[in-house]
Amino acid sequence: MAMWFRNSDDAWGSVARGFHWLIAALVIAQFLIGNVAEEMKLTPAKLDLFVWHKSIGVTVLVLAVLRLAWRFGNPPPAPPAGTPAWERRLGALVHWVLYALIFIVPLSGWWVSDASRVPFRAYFLVPMPDLIATDRGLQEAAAEVHEALTIILLCVAIVHIAAALRHHFLLHDDVLRRMLTGRSSKE
C-alpha cells in the first residue's frame, strides 16, 4: 500500500503537497510585501516590513532546499495517460525553472541586503552572515537583478497557473485535483 506522505505513481504525497502550497503562499505574499515595502516612505515601519520580507524570503530558501531534497527521493506522479511528449517536456521544463527560481530569487534578494549597510536579523532574531562589504553601487545593481528575477518568476508562475487551470477546466483531468487533495480519481 502507498504511504500517505510519499508520492505514488498517480498521486502526490502530503509532504510534496505541503511544500508546494506553503512555498506558493509565501511566494505570493512576498510579491505583495516586496512591492508595498518598496513604495513606502522611509520610516521605521518600512524597515520592519523589509525585515519581514527578507525573513520570509530566507524561509523560502530553506524550504526550497528541503523540498528539492525530498523531490530527489520521491519521483512525481506520471502525467495523465495520453499527454503528448512535448507537453510532458514543457511541463517538466517549467517545473525545473520554478525550482531554480525559488533558489535564485531569495539569493538575489539576500545579495541586495548584504551589499546594503542595513544589518539583517532574520525574524529580528537570527543574525545573518555578512558576506560582502557594503557597496552602494553593487546594492543598486543587485536590486535591479532581484527585481528582474521577480518579474521572470511572476511570468513563469502565471504560465504555470494557467496550465493548471487548463488541465482542470478544459482537459478535465486530475492534475490540479491531485495537487489539492492528494487523491487521484483512479483510486
Interacting residue ranges for ligand HEM, rule: CB under 6 A: 20, 23-24, 27, 30-31, 34-35, 38, 53-54, 57-58, 60, 71, 76, 79, 91, 95, 98-99, 102, 105-106, 109-110, 112-113, 143, 146-147, 150, 157, 160-161, 164, 175-176, 179
- The pair phi, psi for residue 11, each rounded to 5°, is -140, 150
Compute the least distance from the CB of residue 159 to ligand HEM, in Å.
11
| Residue 84 C-beta: closest distance to ligand HEM, Å | 14
Distances (CA, A) of 156 to 10, 47, 149, 174, 181: 25, 29, 10, 22, 24
Least distance in Å: CB of 1 to ligand HEM? 21
**Which residue(s) pair with 121 in the sheet?**
127
Pick between residue 8 and residue 150 the one whose CB is nearest to ligand HEM.
Answer: 150
φ, ψ at 122 (rounded to 5°): -60, 130
Measure the CA–CA gap between 115 and 134, rounded to whole angstroms. Answer: 5
Instruction: Give CA–CA dist 75/158, Å, rounded.
Output: 24
Shortest reach from residue 170's CB to ligand HEM, in Å: 14
> Closer to ligand HEM at the Cβ: 110 or 182?
110
Q: Which is nearer to ligand HEM, 1 or 39 (CB)?
A: 39
* DSSP helix/strand/coil, 127: strand
H-only helix segments in 40-77? 44-73
Nearer to ligand HEM, 6 or 20 (CB): 20
